[in-house]
Structure 1
């Protein structure tokens, strides 16, 4: 098993950014313990993004699709079913930063819809 050392400052920044998203979800009536699809966005070179997409299932994610930027960077959106409680999102963020290091891509955030427990 490969040990990945995440930069503690980067982790702290990401966890702080998570607070803004979690607050916005709560303001929209989110019930954090409801499982839903959470999208993660990664950017990088075409080769590295394609490799990440190819490994998505092995990493426990579903590959959603690619995007290409004017600067030549590519992006991949991955999804995983999870809750949005602070512990689950913190663990997911750590995983995303490990993926960033192992695949030489940039983790560009996560997002999901607020789940209120009400039918859409």
Structure 2
């Protein structure tokens, strides 16, 4: 599959937002090199989200769920295991922006739990 080009301004905007999240994780003791589940979400029509769900593995993701947000719009949640360093998150964001274009959905961001290497 030929992957679509990404708007550089949009990627920069997303990376700036990502940098804030990464800084917050670091301030709280995160070790970004540690692999952990990283969740992403997309908004769109149910049909588009189901099509993405059917092909999520092609992009390295596993399905979590589709649920409605506060406004009743469907949201898709996917996950994959990866590190949370800046380069890994930029690759994640780039993939998600391509998914956005391929499936006609809206990328709504990522999240993960802090990993400090300490066992509970």
Contact 2:59 2:95 in 1 (8 A): no
- Is residue 54 of structure 2 the alignment partner of residue 54 of structure 1? yes
- Alignment correspondent of 1:111: 111
Contact 2:3 2:98 in 1 (8 A): no
CA distance, structure 1, for counterparts of residue 30 and residue 85 of structure 2: 10
Contact 2:14 2:93 in 1 (8 A): yes
Greater CA drift, 62-71 or 33-42: 62-71
- Is residue 12 of structure 2 the alignment partner of residue 12 of structure 1? yes
- Unaligned stretches of 5+ residues in structure 2: none
Q: Please, what TM-score do these two structures have when normalized by structure 1?
A: 0.94
SS at match of 1:90: helix
4+ residue runs of structure 1 moved beyond 3 angstroms?
69-72
- Is residue 98 of structure 2 the alignment partner of residue 98 of structure 1? yes
RMSD: 1.2
Contact 1:45 1:72 in 2 (8 A): no
- Unaligned stretches of 5+ residues in structure 1: none
